[in-house]
Amino acid sequence: MRWIFVFIVLLALPFLFNLSTFIITIINLTMIYALSAMGLNLIMGYTGQVSIGHAAFMSVGAYTSTILVQRFSLPVPFGIVAGTLVGAIFGLTLGFPSLRLTGFYLAITTMGFGVAVEQIIGAWKDLTGGHIGIRNIPRLGNEIQSYYIILLVLLLCMYIFHVVTSHKTGRALKAVRENPLVARTFGVNLTYFKVLAFVIGSAYAGLAGALYAHTIGYIAPSNFGLSKSLELLAIVVIGGMGISFGPIFGAAIYTILPFFFSRSNFSLSIIFGSILVITVLFMPRGISYHLYNLWLKFGELPLVWLKRKKKSKEGNYMELSFGKIHYIESNSDEETAVLCIHGNFGSHRWFKPLMEKLTDHRVIAVDLPNFGDSSRTDSSLELYADCVYEFMNKMHIKPAVVAHSLGGAVGMLLAAKYPDSLRSLILVDPCPADGLVTPVENMPYLELYKTNRSIVKRSIIGLLKTVNDKRFVEDLVDDALKMNPASVYQHAIELGKFNITEKAASIKVPVIVVWGELDALLTSKQMRKTAEILRAELKVLSGVGHTAFVENPELFIHTVRDYL
């Protein structure tokens, strides 16, 4: 949704703020340099090949398109496409020699290539106009028409860039960057991916050069000299190497900055150089990386705050010693009760698919304390078990308990501490009986679960790959945001120190452990050990992951029917 909003804003931008033609031209140049830097980012940021002659590919694209359009009267779109293709061919020509060169030697080679192209263009006066350049180049249109054309090209190229750098190709390029020897060991074709990076990166530069020529209307060899190549390199470094949006931020700073200091006596080279030094020293991953982190931490806070304030329109509340507990139930006339306990970042809503299918039982799903619409309290698994026990007593039920993930730990404590309070215990991909330790390096990442809805959504979708009901998933995400932020770290600590081994002998009820073979969080080894400690039956379900009762409720009910 936010990308649609951004797209609408970009479409309306020329009219939204009543921008002058001068400002629109600056924006057009920003997009052109971002496009060229995107190609260099692919070569350097993703593949690790140093290139200091990238502007030469821009000149090749610019002069190819200009000559074809101006001297041979070909249409401008044809010239732009031709400039892009010729840029790719030059990239292919330079890409093969680069296979035997790395580091400093590759940098010198690409720099020499850039200088050579500039001198050849300057010397070939009959065709290129020499160092004077070529004037009166046919334009894309007026400034606003050029804006929409360049914007469309940029968005298309960003999509292609995303496709190239994602999945298998992206991983291969990064493997080449990190360690070519290891990449080759794992079957990565170094020749193919190095040349591919040069070809695509050079094509982007050729396209940018052609657009530059038909936007400004004048080109000369000095426009694409060594200094321009170094500036493109600075754009990539400042924006963020290896980050897809990095060149856009770098190009914006590079293009817009001169006009802020145009009336001052400050040297632009000093200012831009200072920014580059500060970036390298204090923000080595680029400005876009830190801006993205700021967005993750604070950008969605208003939305998260609104979602936390939203109360469920269904269910009931029961007053317990700790506060109110929220729950829903179905088939209240049935005698046999099933109590459902959700996992971390969960709520009662996770069990609605099970309720719809399990029509011959009374099914009750609760929001644990600190979750959903229940009251806030200490983040203790022992306390959660006590609260569930108190809830069962007030409901006058002795249920079969379906406990999932973190709720599995609560269910084990409940069965061990109050062995006569339930009929059976059904553990669905539960916390292992000897605990689930969160790696130290992952702990800071948990902070984002407090402030960023997109991160939470991505995690939940990762658990529900086979669920296609988008509205249901969105509701699960909204419920996840209601979890007490103070509990995020504490739950990780509680699960890490959880161990039911010594208390397992107290569990007298029948226990079954259900594990989905596609579960990305828990391993079969952990589940086998859990079943062994609890003296429980283990059932492995194929085709489902961490939440069998959501992904395939019919299969789940069939599997645990004897325990219900």
Q: Identify the pLDDT of residue 349.
A: 95
Biggest CA pair distance of the chain: 98
Q: Is 179 left (phi over 0), alpha (psi -120 to 50) or beta?
A: beta
Alpha-helical runs (H) found in 418-516: 443-446, 448-451, 453-463, 470-481, 487-497
Is-contact 327 365, C-beta < 8 A?
Answer: yes
DSSP symbol at 325: E
Query: How many helices (DSSP H) and strands (DSSP E) are in the chain?
Result: 26, 8
Q: Which residues pair with 364 in a beta bridge?
A: 329, 339
- Say whether pTM exceeds 0.85: no
Secondary structure class of 327 (helix, strand, coil) = strand
CA angle 256, 257, 261 (to 5 degrees): 125
- In whole angstroms, give the CA distance from residue 267 to residue 549: 66
Give the C-alpha distances (Å, rounded to integers) separating 371 from 88, 234, 317, 430, 478.
55, 48, 13, 18, 11
**Are the C-beta atoms of 483 and 396 separated by less than 8 Å?**
no
> For position 178, what pLDDT does the model report?
81
124: Cβ contacts below 8 Å, ≥ 6 apart: 130
**Position of tokens 């991909």?**
429
- 542 to each of 185, 427, 547, 548, how far by Cα in Å? 33, 17, 12, 9
Rounded Cα distance, 312 and 329, in Å: 14
| Predicted local confidence at residue 267, as pLDDT | 67
Range 116-127 burial, b when 16+ CB lie within 10 A, else e: ebbeebbeeeee
Residue type at position 114: G
Please, what are the averages of pLDDT over each run of 10 residues along the chain (564 residues)?
71 76 88 94 88 91 94 91 94 78 78 88 87 90 90 93 87 85 83 88 95 93 88 90 88 82 70 82 87 86 88 91 94 87 95 92 95 94 96 94 96 94 95 91 85 90 83 93 93 94 93 94 94 95 93 94 91
Tell me the one-letter amino acid at 402.
V
pLDDT of residue 1: 57
- Judged on CB neighbours under 10 Å (0-12, 13-18, 19+), 350 is buried
Q: Which of 493, 495, 518 is nearest to 432 (CA)?
A: 495
The count of other CB atoms within 10 Å of the CB of residue 332 is 9
Q: How far apart are CA 272 and CA 234, in angstroms?
A: 9
CB atoms within 10 A of CB 443: 13
CB atoms closer than 10 angstroms to residue 63: 26
Q: What pLDDT, on a 0 to 100 scale, did the predictor assign at position 131?
A: 87
For 398-433, the three-class secondary structure string (H helix, E strand, C coil) is CCEEEEECHHHHHHHHHHHHCCCCCCEEEEECCCCC
- A 10 A CB-CB count for 297 gives 14
Terminal CA-to-CA distance of the chain, rounded, Å? 42
Cα radius of gyration (the chain):
31
Q: What are phi and psi of 391, to 5 degrees?
A: -65, -45
In order of their start, the domains of the chain are 32-227 (no CATH), 315-440+453-563 (3.40.50.1820)
Rounded to 5 degrees, what are φ and ψ at 49? -100, 125
